[in-house]
């Protein structure tokens, strides 16, 4: 080991050093120190040469996912750890697709055939409070995904969009031809992302297969109880009505807050088209199977029937068996009165029809998961006896 200090009988007077003095090797007492440094440098260089000349068997082998496998479609699922994306990944695996959920350097290390793009923040109320976050997360990140796809020659995109791009149409039900006039940052950010995708798909360089699915309000969970909805605690206030109903039934919150009772609807509360997550995922898989190069398909994914918030709450009470306390408040910013779909196009072209249309049944399935996962995907809280 090189010495870190020397014992001297008396302290030398301080003096400044010049560059020439520092490089002067004429002092015989200093030779061993510099010789040790030279030897150490030579050893490190030799080690580096040995490591770099190791045979390939000592290096990290390429991932099995880094090459295309004939007969197997490899799908990148962005947002694959989220509520809808996780259900989609589970279904794709069941159907023998190869699935990767997005991580760093993902395109460079995997040979993808398609991208199923779910990743997004998705709460209307939150988007009015944090619009820049929504434009960055949804619009800017979609641009990043498209650039990566173009750079790595991935030509199939299934884009998970939203009915929020339509805003509050004058006529119901909503068709794919209904004008897109979003009224909140969430819907605007999604429409911008759609516009970017469509513009790129029209360019001569793209030759893309694009499917855009505009879906309505998602409920339910995996029928086999493997997955469910577990938003981060700070998002509960902005989350889906089903999550709020379950939180109230579990006693996590004191009651349910219904925002808006003066809409021009039969009972004054908002009317929505509730689509079961299992049906929604089925629509995405059917879109993937029907995707064709040079073609763009745009589809509404819904049941075609609107249900009011009050109807939903009653179904939730029945599913949970809890008489949930309900408090009524003024309208939520950026919300709209009535939205439901006309699913005729997706029925006709993709042979897709919603199968899980019983509101009570979908909520009952989701409630079973919620009761078994009171802490979501976190470990159960310790019980103090």
Q: Which residues are catalytic?
A: 186
Q: Does a cis peptide bond (omega within 30 degrees of 0) precede residue 81?
A: no
Instruction: Name the helix (H) or strand (E) containing 313.
Output: helix 309-320
Distance, first Cα to last Cα, the chain:
57
Q: What are phi and psi of 107, to 5 degrees?
A: -70, -35
Residue that is written with structure tokens 């409070």 in the block: 129
Of 151, 83, 155, nearest in space to 115 by CA: 155
- Please, which residues bridge with residue 212 across strands? 159, 298
- Burial readout 323-356 (b: 16 or more C-beta within 10 A, e: otherwise): ebebeeeeebebbbebbbbbbebbeeebebebeb
| Token pair listed for 337 | 């009165």
Q: Give the integer Cα–Cα distance in Å for 133 and 137.
A: 6
Q: Looking at residue 233, what DSSP letter applies?
A: G
Query: Are 181 and 255 in contact, with CB atoms under 8 Å apart?
Result: no
Residue 368: burial class (beta carbons within 10 Å; 0-12, 13-18, 19+): middle
Query: Hey, is 297 helix, strand or coil?
Result: strand
Give me the count of residues in the chain: 385
């Amino acid at each position: 080991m090189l010495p870190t200090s020397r014992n001297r009988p008396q302290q030398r007077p301080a003096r400044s050093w010049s560059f020439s003095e520092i490089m002067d090797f004429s002092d015989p007492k200093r030779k061993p120190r510099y010789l040790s440094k030279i030897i150490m440098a030579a050893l490190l260089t030799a080690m580096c040469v040995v490591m770099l000349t190791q045979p390939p068997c000592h290096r990290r082998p390429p991932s099995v996912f880094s090459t295309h496998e004939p007969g197997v479609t490899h799908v990148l699922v962005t947002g694959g750890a989220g509520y809808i994306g996780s259900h989609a990944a589970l279904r794709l695996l069941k159907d023998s697709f190869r699935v990767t959920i997005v991580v760093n350097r993902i395109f460079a290390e995997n040979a993808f055939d398609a991208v199923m793009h779910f990743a997004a923040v998705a709460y209307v109320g939150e988007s009015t409070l944090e619009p820049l976050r929504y434009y960055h997360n949804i619009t800017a990140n979609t641009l990043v995904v498209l650039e990566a796809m173009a750079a790595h020659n991935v030509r199939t995109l299934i884009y998970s969009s939203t009915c929020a791009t339509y805003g509050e149409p004058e006529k119901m039900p909503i068709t794919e031809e209904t004008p897109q006039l979003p009224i909140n940052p969430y819907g605007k950010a999604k429409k911008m992302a759609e516009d970017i995708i469509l513009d790129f798909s029209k360019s001569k360089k793209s030759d893309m297969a694009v499917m855009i699915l505009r879906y309505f309000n998602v409920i339910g969970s995996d029928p086999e109880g493997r997955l469910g909805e577990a938003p981060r605690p700070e998002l509960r206030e902005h989350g889906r009505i089903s999550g709020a109903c379950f939180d109230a039934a579990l006693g996590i919150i004191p009651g349910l807050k219904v925002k808006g009772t003066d809409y021009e609807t039969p009972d004054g509360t908002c009317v929505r088209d509730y689509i079961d997550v299992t049906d929604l995922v089925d629509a995405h898989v059917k879109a993937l199977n029907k995707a064709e190069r040079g073609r763009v398909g745009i589809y509404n994914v819904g049941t075609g029937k609107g249900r009011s918030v009050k109807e939903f709450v009653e179904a939730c009470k029945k599913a949970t068996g809890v008489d949930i306390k309900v408090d009524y408040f003024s309208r939520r910013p950026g919300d709209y009165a009535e939205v439901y779909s006309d699913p005729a196009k997706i029925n006709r072209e993709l042979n897709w029809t919603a199968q899980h249309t019983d509101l009570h049944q979908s909520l009952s399935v989701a409630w079973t998961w919620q009761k078994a996962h009171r802490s979501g995907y976190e470990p159960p809280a310790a019980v103090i006896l």
